[in-house]
Amino acid sequence: MSDPTDQPRSGSADQPRSGQIVRPYGDTTGDGMVQLSFTLPIEHSKVAEGAAEQLANKMGMDPALVVHAKPMGQGFTFFVVYGRVSHLVDTSKVEVVERDFPLLTPKEANAAIKQSLRRRLVVVGACIGTDAHTVGIDAILNIKGFAGEKGLEYYREIKVVNLGAQVSVPELVEAARTERADAVLVSQVVTQRDAHLLNTREMSAAFREAYPAASRPLLVVGGPRFNEGMAAELGVDRVFSRGTTPGEVASYLVHRATHGRDGAPQSTSSILAAPKEKAS
Ligand code: B12
């Protein structure tokens, strides 16, 4: 749940990171050269290019060279700037969410669900809000899958209910109740005005309202611009970002179905370690 102790930890105990100081590589090792792209609300002109250079200078690029400038409709210009930064990166201070569950084959996942739940694991998926980008959630759920891996529909012990695009939060909660979902998988691709964050918070709040804590379905959100470290802040159990494969998601769901919050193996008929009951 949103309990911070339940979230994936930064770094990994079995993979200690040795500290290394690195700087960007452009033409030669350690030359500090980077490339940056952005749009300014200015008509393309010499002044616009100078403005782009000034912005890059203020961001720490020195020298900064405008290598591409293209008008983007009326009153806007897109820039690519190439230049040197003096910043160093200390890899021992990098914080990431490491995978903290084993990767299973579909056969292993099916066997674990059968043994632990003694029934099929029910997954309800959707793109919520006005988001119509279904390719990501379909990549995870549809049998055809993604990156050479079959989607969750391929797993005999997983029942998939894919609600598609532009599903409202009340519709999602209702479907989760009707299907007696163990896990709710939500996709958010559009990030304009932080829509992905606002929609996710609205969704997690609605599930907390609709379900007793112990029987709430597992809430999983995914999309290319999520920060995987934001699960607790968003009130969900797990965040998956770009490049996620169906096998990773299936393995996570199985791990949660077969382990308690403390990570200890459990044998129970519910994914959240509580008796399966219909929400009131
Ligand atoms: C295809 C596409 C469309 C198609 C969508 C068709 C469909 N049925 O999905 C159409 C043409 C409809 C479309 C429309 C729009 N689009 Co569009 N679209 C794209 C595009 C080109 C590809 C997205 C995609 O399919 N990626 C492939 C999938 C496999 O990757 P993914 O979504 O990241 O999913 C992976 C992971 O993120 C993760 N994942 C995703 N969801 C989930 C969920 C769970 C539970 C889990 C575990 C994992 C997971 O797993 C997936 C596999 O690894 C992107 C640009 C790009 N190159 O990414 C723009 C893009 C997403 N679109 C964009 C925009 C702005 C729009 C429009 C607003 C344009 C307009 N003005 O009309 C509309 C919005 C429509 C709407 N109401 O949502 C912007 C979004 C910008 C932003 N900051 O929000 C982008 C980034 C383009 C851009 N650079 O401007 N779009």
- Same CATH topology for 21-90 and 97-258: the answer is no
Residue 9 pLDDT greater than 80, yes or no:
no
Test site for ligand 1: of 130, 189, 192, 221, most ligand atoms within 8 A of the Cβ: 189
Q: Output the pLDDT for position 13.
A: 37
Neighbours of 154 (CB within 10 A): 18
Q: Give the CA count within 13 Å in the CB-facing half-sphere of 96.
A: 12
Residue 272 pLDDT greater than 90, yes or no:
no
* β pairing state of 89-90 and 21-22: antiparallel
Q: Output the pLDDT for position 61.
A: 98
Model confidence pTM above 0.85: yes
CATH of domain 21-90: 3.30.30.60
Q: What is the DSSP letter of 171?
A: H
pLDDT band at 138 (very low <50, low <70, confident <90, very high): very high
Percent of the chain with pLDDT over 70: 86
> Residue 159 C-alpha to ligand 1 middle, in angstroms?
25
Structure tokens at 54: 């000034």
Domain boundaries, the chain: 21-90, 97-258
Closest CA relative to residue 254, chosen from 126, 123, 96:
123
What is the pLDDT of the chain when averaged over all its residues?
90
Test site for ligand 1: of 39, 76, 128, 133, most ligand atoms within 8 A of the Cβ: 133
Structure tokens at 120: 């099929």
Annotated catalytic residue within 107, 114, 144, 159: 144
The pLDDT tens digits for 169-195 are: 999 999 999 999 999 999 999 999 999
The superfamily CATH assigns to domain 97-258 is Cobalamin-binding domain (3.40.50.280)
pLDDT band at 19 (very low <50, low <70, confident <90, very high): confident
